[in-house]
Structure 1
Amino acid sequence: MLAIGLSYEDAIRIVATGFLIISVVITLNGAVGVLYHAPFPVLARAGWGFWGSYVAIISRVILAMFWFAIQTVNGGDTVFVMITAIWPSFARLHNGIPANEGITTAQMVSFFLCKPQVSCPNMLSRTEEYYPVWLVQIPFLYMHPNNLRYLFITKSILVPICFLAILIWSFRSTGGTGGPLLASSSKASIGGSAYSYAWLSSLTSVIGSWATLSVNMPDFSRYSKASVKWQWLYVPMLPIVFTFISFIGIAATSAGQEHYGVLDWNPANLISKWPNRSCKFFAGLAFSLAALGVNISANSLSAANDLAALAPSYINIRRGQLICALIAWVMVPWKILATAAGFLNFMSAYTVFLGPIAAILVWDFWWIHDMKYDVVALYHPEGIYHYRYGINWRAIAAFFVGVAPNLPGFVNSINPAIDPGVGVRPYTFAWILGFAVTSLKYVVLSTIWKPTETMIPRAILPDEIYEGTGADTVTIEGKALGDDVEREGSGEKRFKKADKELRVL
């Protein structure tokens, strides 16, 4: 944001605003997972239709797999810092891989080195590294998501300590000024419409960084044992925490510029310049742990849930995560990062599809269906959420209407040679525009042509199904379980039969 002419104060405000907006959407979609203990691909069927949900699922799984691969490469920056802090000569490991492969032996074995065709003795380029981070992730992918809480508890303790230490270093090493970025004028260097579009574009970038989680938050909240009200902690906490982290980033970059004469935003590049090898190692460890947690939570788990929904007879969460990791190899992400800038622009721009998807999920549950889903029907292809031909045309129509205004800018971001003129401007606030337009369209269509076949008098929750209290209201194959179980009498015998039918389903 500072690089395009905004002040650091503008940057801080934008981060706070962006995370405030996205935290509300994360909370609203996360609450559905808490109530129904179902992942995003299953809950999407209520609004999109059983087969129509594949539009949202496939969009999400493609993004998750590519970002798993790319973030694994990016995580190599800090692993390389750790290795070279212990073994400095590792950076000079003999390279036996051809230069046109976009990766060296050291990069493959450890995670990164400089590009073979570029000399960078003092700076890391964060573009090629793979094997160790990929390998270290495998045991965690094999674990059940419930057991990952210990990983995230550890991360939540160690990483903030590292961040605070870097903040202290930033001010103490610069005599309390924080360096040239913080000491300079806080006024933006641009004005007029350029300032407005820079502000909106930066806001979209902040929102886009967590747009994926706003869609698939139920993949994680489904495991929560707390009540829905605890989800609202995201609304104050995300803006506060990430605004503070952004300030640390600005301060550290500013201090780095004063010490090393280079304006570098990559934490791995900064800590690689530190003279103290133990500090380099432990800082690299903290950032590596952060990268590992983000990749598992935001990418591999999300891909696994999506793959399990696409092929439930063959893929579960564990297999889905391992498949995601294997496909990451096939994608050779080090070559993507080295040669395909246009493709990376496409991956970043792909979030224009996530705003409309998130909008449909939010409005379908909280407004159209008045928070009443039938959890059994969500797993039934011919249930009440089948709609017509398995597709809710209202969601599909709203989705394409929400995406359409951003397509000119989307195309331009992939191929700058295509100039859509003023059509590129809506793309500067793509997520907000897509969310707003899709919300309006979906609510209007669902109000005029109300999906009455999906409306139920009360919610059917998984807890009451397994406890037996709601068995008489559950429908399977178009008939109520109560039609049979009432004739069986009440009590334990009745609920055993209901439980048996549910297990068969």
Structure 2
Amino acid sequence: MKLRRPHLRVAQSQSAFADGNSRWTNLDLDPVPRSGRLWGPLSFLSYWISDAFNAATWQFASSIIAVGLSWRESLGIVALSFFIISFVISANGAVGAIYHIPFPVIARASWGFWGSYIAIISRSILAVFWFAIQNVNGANAVKAMIGAIWPSFLTMRNTIPENQGIETNTMIAYLIFWIVQFPFLCIHPNKARWLFVAKSVIVPVAWIAILIWAFVAEGAGPIFEQKATVTGSEYSWVFLASMTSVLGNYATLSVNQSDFSRYSHVSPKWQLLYIPLLPVIFTFISFIGIIASSAGWSRYNTPTIPWDPIVLISHWSSRACRFFGAFSFALASIGVNISANSISAANDLMALFPEYVNLRRGQIICGVLSWALVPWKILISAGNFLNFMSAYAIFLGPIAAIMLWDFWLIKGRKYDTLALYQPTSPVYRFNAWLVNWRAVVAFLVGVVPSLPGLMNSVNDQIEVGVGVHPYQFGWLLGFVATGLVYVVLSMVWPVREALVGRAVLADEVYGLREVEGVELGDGDGDVVRIGNIGVGKEKGFVGA
């Protein structure tokens, strides 16, 4: 077998989208051709079930209870948050299903080519952070698996300084989990969908079994008697802050669902499935976390409720149950890392460096960067966990709003796919700097009010007074304020070149690519040149 010599540059697209334009695309950034659209209803359903079943979802409600609310309010916050964000995920995911392009390319329509980097970099940072956090969750699961087989591993002498926030055996488990996960970083999303199918069967069965155990063992424990410990205005702000934290957890997918929906071969209407599906699934998993943790507290007489599922599993007497229970959480971490984090980060890195990074390289870079973020320190307490989730939500809420209103209202659902790859085209050029100032101004309006609270959450020695409150509902504030400002600015100062008369779909470009040297029109003489090809400008008809 002849081995190919590795190259620093990745394979470049030979399509019309990349003609004389390798700086802005490569094979993986191009619109997905018909042959690559393999995702159907089963793929999307298993994708979301896979994405939902992870340790972070298990701990949503428990983290909210830990800061003073009751179990009822915790589940209500989870359900309401996912009901809200499901609309945004569906709306932005539909763009990928229609045009078969990823988030970084879609962002060019509203931000401009260089302006889109604001959205891309913001999203990529959170994706890499979440990848690292899921690695810690996976490492804890692997540690429990090894401990079930080799009990002395759990009492191994620690040689890492205490101030580092991690012990030797956990670091070993972290390395093992990372190595096992690594091959999955090298596969294409079309192949990864089978991982999601497998996880959506194995993990739910295991977790429902844990739920049954909780009711049989202790009748769910004393959690139903628990009351909120905060009242008055403090209750309101804790409620909003907790809601922002839950929204922040899936703020990435509210902007980049198109990274997966672009592989769809079914109607974009299937994206509406998320609206009833997400609140039900995520609330149910949070319910499992509450009931199982409460039962464990009652049964094992622990000083505090074992909100961490791995801590709960460690009390089980059966080593086989400990092993397979921990295995379900390890598999859950791998699945969600691929579905929500590594592929998302890869698309962003690919958009930043298309000549050197493709999907595979981008995922590998994400995996390597995760080591530098010391994520185990983020997960030390429930408060830190919520602060982290809130932090980047204040940036991604405004980004999601700009994308949503730009497509569905300002542009009237009409994008010129080819122009999104050609900065020389006047359609999405905006100005000499290739930046849409309307999006930048709207983004700042949505983000700036939350910055004092963000600084206070990072360093509580910085006193900001009531300035902390906008941060506590930063996603909602940013989404609404940014959306309103962007729509007003875009209507008062419209970019007429970007208001195309008809949508130009990828299939038109791919379908006409082979017809070179022939000028095609719509019968009225209106022709748009695509390299050596023409596409009718105003009507849906494209013909000779």
TM category, shorter: 0.7 to 0.9
**Number of the residue aligned with 2:469:** 425
Is 1:58 paired with 2:101? no
2:142/2:326 contact within 8 Å kept: yes
- 1:95-494 equivalences under 5 Å are 95=158, 97=160, 102-110=165-173, 130-174=174-218, 176=219, 178-182=220-224, 184=225, 187-261=227-301, 262-334=304-376, 345=387, 348-383=390-425, 384-388=427-431, 389-468=433-512, 472=520, 480-481=528-529, 485=533
Q: State the Cα distance separating 1:206 from its structure 2 match.
A: 1.4
Could you say if the C-alpha distance between residues 331 and 25 of structure 1 is closer, same or farther in structure 2, counting changes exceeding 3 Å?
Answer: same
Shift of 1:168: 0.6
How far apart, CA to CA, are the structure 1 residues paired with 2:531 and 2:380?
A: 63
Q: Is the 8 A contact 2:244 2:390 kept in 1?
A: no
Distance change in 2, residues 1:242/1:473 (3 Å): farther
CA spacing shift, 1:422–1:482, aligned 2, 3 Å: closer
Distance 1:313 1:427, change over 3 A: same
Distance in 1, matches of 2:319 and 2:534, equals 73
Task: Determine helix, strand or coil for the equivalent of 2:143.
Answer: helix
Residues 390 and 320 of structure 1, relative CA distance in 2, 3 Å threshold: same
Give the drift of 1:195: 1.9
Distance between the aligned counterparts of 2:370 and 2:65, measured in 1?
33
Please list the CA deviations of residues 313-333 of structure 1 after superposition, one character each: whole Å capped at 9, or x if unmatched: 111000111111122234444
- Map Cα deviations across residues 212-245 of structure 1 (whole Å, 9 max, x no partner): 1111111111111111111000000000111111
Q: What's the offset of the Cα at 1:349?
A: 0.8
Residue identity opposite 1:319 in structure 2: R
Distance in 1 (alpha carbons) for counterparts of 2:355 and 2:444? 31
* Structure 2 residue matching 1:394: 3-state secondary structure: helix
- CA displacement, residues 12-34 of structure 1 (integer Å, 9 cap, x when unaligned): 21111000001110000100010
Among 69, 74, 77, the alignment partner of 1:11 is 74
Q: Say if 1:89 and 1:482 are closer, same or farther in 2 by CA, change over 3 A.
A: closer
286-295 vs 380-389, which deviates more?
A: 380-389
Deviation at 1:190, TM superposition (A): 3.1
State whether residues 336 and 344 of structure 1, in contact with CA within 8 Å, keep that contact through their aligned partners in structure 2. no
Q: What is the CA–CA distance in structure 1 between the aligned matches of 2:180 and 2:75, rounded to whole Å?
A: 34
Match of 1:118 in 2: none
1:89 maps to 2:137:
no
Counterpart of 2:92 in structure 1 is 29
- Listed one character per residue, the Cα deviations across residues 402-449 of structure 1 (whole Å, up to 9, x for unaligned) are 111111111111111112111111221110010000000000000000
- Give 3-state SS (helix, strand or coil) of 2:95's partner: helix
- Stretches of structure 2 lacking an aligned partner (at least 5 in a row): 1-63, 536-541
Task: Sort the Cα spacing of 1:131 and 1:472 in 2 relative to 1 into closer, same or farther, 3 A.
Answer: farther
Is the alpha carbon distance of 1:440 and 1:53 closer, same or farther for their aligned partners in structure 2, counting shifts above 3 Å? Answer: same
Equivalenced residues, count: 462
Unaligned residue ranges in structure 1 (runs of 5+): 111-129, 488-493, 499-505
Distance 2:296 2:318 in 1: 15
Distance 1:485 1:270, change over 3 A: closer
- Superposition RMSD on alpha carbons, in Å? 2.6
Aligned-partner residue type, residue 2 of structure 1: I
Are the structure 2 counterparts of residues 343 and 433 from structure 1 closer, same or farther at C-alpha, using a change threshold of 3 Å? same
Contact 1:346-1:414 within 8 A present in 2 as well: no
Quote the sequence identity (%): 56
State the alpha-carbon separation in 2 of the partners of residues 318 and 366 from structure 1.
32
Task: Measure, in 2, the Cα distance between the counterparts of 1:96 and 1:42.
Answer: 47
TM-score calculated relative to the size of structure 2: 0.80
Letter in 2 for 1:257: W
Tell me the SS of whatever aligns to 1:418. Answer: coil
Structure 1 residue 135: Cα displacement: 0.7
Tell me the TM-score normalised to structure 1 length: 0.86
Q: 1-side partners of 2:476 and 2:98: how far apart?
A: 27
Q: 1:268 to 1:472 in 2, by over 3 A?
A: farther
